[in-house]
Structure 1
Amino acid sequence: MELTVSKLNRFVFFKLPSAFICGVRVKSIDKDKCVVTVKHRWINQNPFNSMYFAVQAMAAELTTGAMVIAKIQQSGKKISMLVANNKSNFSKKATGRITFECKDGHLIEDAIQKTIATGEGQTFWMKSIGTNEEGVQVSEMDFEWSIRIK
């Protein structure tokens, strides 16, 4: 079963309701790239008139995690996934619609193959870049994913 934008947004609604309420939405996904947007609104603001960092983190993590879910489904194996670490850098106030994009889908397949072959857990880092409507980078987030065959 292919993971589509509508299926992912339904997943966000039922399994990540705080992200859904804050406006996090998947816009596109393919084997190498995922795009998620979120608009600065009252519900997701901080006291400094910009988007709260945790809302940005939810959107950024979804760009990476959605591709991990898709690749695990494609493998046909039972594999667990978990964020082991994350790093963030905020370079500008996040106002308006922020678009997060991850282009690291190519990193996942190798780790899945290794965990299937060896039975040992694997880790890999994926980067998501957040840009505003003018195309200016507002944040950069790195997530270390840990996967393991069940």
Structure 2
Amino acid sequence: MNPNFPAFKRLITNPILFKIFIFQKLSAAFWAGLSIAHFDEKTCVVRVKYSWFSQNPFRSIYFAVEAMAAEMSAGMLAFGQVYKRDPAVSMLVEKVEATFTKKATGVVHFTCEDGLAFKAAVEEALVNNSGSKLVSKSVGTNSAGQQVAEFTISWTFKAKN
């Protein structure tokens, strides 16, 4: 595991520091009202609520806001593994695929449980000059526990020289 992961976890799980972090690094997520509901080395859960800013004309959460929450749930796990690495490791979203199964209203939680896979992918990128790739999954569920969307996000990692 990244020796700096605990410091990143403290940053992400502190509500005030998290707001500052996303305002600086992910300003659209800040304005959309995304928040972290759970974060550890294995799992990240991002919360998004239907609101004036996140709505579409059909009275549900706009698909782009759902995509932002899904990407954040996986991206925080990835970022936790590259945070303050020496040598630094770059990460990039290569591809996103989505399936929308139910209208997203109210509060939706996007969950990614690929933390250990992100750890392995970053470790591989540190020893492999050509980098590594990982396909992660984030599932969005409403307050009734029903799936509203599923995202598959392909990531690439490469150690910087």
| TM more than 0.5 | yes
Q: Which runs of structure 2 are paired with 1:70-149 in the superposition (5 Å)?
A: 70-73=80-83, 75-149=85-159
Alpha-carbon offset, residue 17 of structure 1 = 1.4
Cα distance between partner residues in 2 of 1:112 and 1:42: 38
Q: Percent identity?
A: 37
**1:43 partnered with 2:53:** yes
- Code of the aligned partner of 1:24: L
Task: Return the alpha-carbon distance in structure 2 between the equivalents of residues 16 and 74 of structure 1.
Answer: 18
TM-score, length of structure 2 as denominator length: 0.88
**Deviations for 1:71-91, whole angstroms, at most 9, x for unmatched residues?**
112754300000000110000
Give the counterpart letter for 2:35 in structure 1.
Answer: R
- 1:16 maps to a residue whose letter is L
Aligned equivalents of 2:24 and 2:69: distance in 1? 16
Question: Which residue is 2:39 aligned to?
Answer: 29
Query: CA deviation digits over 1:21-77, x for unaligned, max 9?
Result: 111111221010001101001111111110000000111100101011111127543
Residue aligned with 1:147, SS? strand
Alpha-carbon separation, structure 2, partners of 1:82 and 1:38: 23
Mapped to 1, the partners of 2:19 and 2:46 lie a distance apart of 10
| Aligned-residue CA RMSD (Å) | 1.4
Shift in Å, 1:114: 1.7
Question: How many residues are treated as equivalent by the alignment?
Answer: 150
TM-score normalised over the length of structure 1: 0.94
Unaligned stretches of 5+ residues in structure 2: none
Q: Unaligned 5+ residue runs, structure 1?
A: none
Instruction: Give the whole-Å Cα distance in 2 for the aligned partners of 1:55 and 1:98.
Output: 11
- Amino acid of the structure 1 residue aligned with 2:129: G
Structure 1 CA distance for aligned equivalents of residues 140 and 84 of structure 2: 27
